[in-house]
Amino acid sequence: MNFTLDRTGLVFTLKALLAASLSVYFVWFGSNIVFGHAYPQNDQRMESARENLSQIQTDRFYRKQNLASALDSLEKERALLAFVGDIMLDRGVKESILKNGGGDFLFSFEKIQETLKQYNVLFGNLEGPISDKGQNQGSSYSFRMDPKTTSALAFAGFNILSLANNHIGDWGEEAAKDTTARLESAGIIGVGMDYSPKILNLRGTKIAFLALSDIKGMVNLPFLYDKSEAEMAVRSAKEMSNLVIISMHFGEEYHKEPSVRQKEIAHGLIDAGADLVIGSHPHVVQPVEQYKNSYIAYSLGNFVFDQDFSEDTMRGLLFEVELENGQIIKIAPKTVIINENFQPTVP
């Protein structure tokens, strides 16, 4: 296609181009006049918005910091302790673990582990040695637990266990001492092999644990209760701690009420300065008593045991204690039921 442009057309085209150029220029110039002062204002507004946003972010940061600090302070002030009764992972319990748990000793605690993991301190009475050493001392009820049980106890959340009872010496002193070493290697404190307290520093609160037994076993280990020596040990522990807790293996088996001797011992320990006395040995639950400003749980019953000959021996107490600033502010006894596989459960 041929395209031709005469003089008239050329002039028209040039005029049109000039008009378009002038239009673009005036639009540009006008916009500068009209909006020239608005841009600084917008900049100021934007800058002000940025400053406000920055202040909001700063305020939020410090609120979070203050909240974290308050929560941290609360955590330091409060603590939750729990105490359970007799633990025995031999005999029928071991048979159930092999049959129903594939030989894994964690099986004993799998029904209650979620409950136990909330506590800062978890304490129980270990009814016998954990060892592959020693000689059977000839008791008609002689317990010795597999070394694998230490990892199961750690899994359950135990960080301190009483060894002061009539079964820790069932396989002699060698097995008893081996138990202490094995627990220690699993991060668990064994208390009660002598009159020395174990001190736990829990968020600035020093808690002294003592464990004694009024029941003789096959081997006379140095934790048997003596009134003057025990009360002297409590007074000494009180001087080095904020709170003194005594595990006392005493009373008569299968009796639901504490004996006169149990009361005399427990009251004497509190008079000497104990804040809490936790009892074991009867294998059934006995009452909880407040004496002065302290508490006595005369017997927490069984926690893991194979005494399925009665309903009373297949239940126990989980004794919950709340501390605030090193003082007991609340106790909460909770029922534990042992199922047919000898696993403790909380209804």
The answer to whether 318 and 82 have CB atoms below 8 angstroms apart is yes
- Structural domain count of the chain: 1
Q: Would you say residue 318 lies in a domain?
A: yes
pLDDT digits 0-9 by tens, 252-296: 999 999 999 999 999 999 999 999 999 999 999 999 999 999 999
Q: Would you say residue 245 lies in a domain?
A: yes
Residues 304 and 318: their CA atoms lie apart, in Å, by 12
Amino acid 35: pLDDT: 40
User: Does 251 have pLDDT greater than 50?
Assistant: yes
Query: Residue 259 burial (CB < 10 Å; 0-12/13-18/19+)?
Result: middle
pLDDT digits 0-9 by tens, 23-82: 544 444 444 444 444 444 445 554 554 565 455 455 554 444 554 444 444 445 799 999
pLDDT mean across residues, the chain: 86
Give the residue with greater pLDDT, 70 vs 156: 156
Q: Which residues of 42-61 are buried (b: 16+ CB within 10 A; e: fewer)?
A: eeeeeeeeeeeeeeeeeeee
Q: In sequence order, what are the beta bridge partners of 121?
A: 81
| H-state helical runs in the chain | 7-35, 38-77, 91-100, 113-116, 149-156, 172-185, 227-239, 260-271
User: Does 207 have pLDDT greater than 60?
Assistant: yes
Amino acid 57: pLDDT: 53
Q: Would you say residue 33 lies in a domain?
A: no
CATH number at 223 reads 3.60.21.10
Q: Among 30-44, 121-135, 142-156, 325-339, where is mean pLDDT lowest?
A: 30-44
- Picking from 323, 69, 332, 329, the residue whose alpha carbon sits closest to that of residue 201 is 323
Amino acid 220: pLDDT: 84
Report residue 248's pLDDT band, with 50, 70 and 90 as the boundaries.
very high
pTM beyond 0.85: the answer is: no
77: which DSSP letter?
Answer: H
Residue 207 structure tokens: 């808690």
Q: Would you say residue 327 lies in a domain?
A: yes
Residues 281 and 183: their CA atoms lie apart, in Å, by 21
Q: How far out from the chain centre does Cα 308 lie?
A: 29
Report residue 222's pLDDT band, with 50, 70 and 90 as the boundaries.
confident
The answer to whether 113 and 155 have CB atoms below 8 angstroms apart is yes
Contacts of 222 (CB under 8 A, 6+ apart): 193, 194, 195
Give the residue with greater pLDDT, 212 vs 60: 212
Report residue 4's pLDDT band, with 50, 70 and 90 as the boundaries.
very low
Phi first, then psi: give them for residue 310, nearest 5 degrees.
-155, 160
Q: Would you say residue 2 lies in a domain?
A: no
Q: Which domain holds residue 149?
A: 78-345
- Work out the number of other CB atoms within 10 angstroms of the CB of residue 332: 11
Report residue 237's pLDDT band, with 50, 70 and 90 as the boundaries.
very high
Amino acid 24: pLDDT: 44
Q: Would you say residue 73 lies in a domain?
A: no
205: which DSSP letter?
Answer: E
316: which DSSP letter?
Answer: E
Concatenating the DSSP letter of every residue in 89-152 gives -SHHHHHHHHHHSTT-GGGGGTTTHHHHTT-SEEEEEE-S-B-S-S-----SS---B-TTHHHH
Q: Would you say residue 158 lies in a domain?
A: yes
Average pLDDT over residues 113-122: 97
Q: Would you say residue 319 lies in a domain?
A: yes
The answer to whether 346 and 115 have CB atoms below 8 angstroms apart is yes
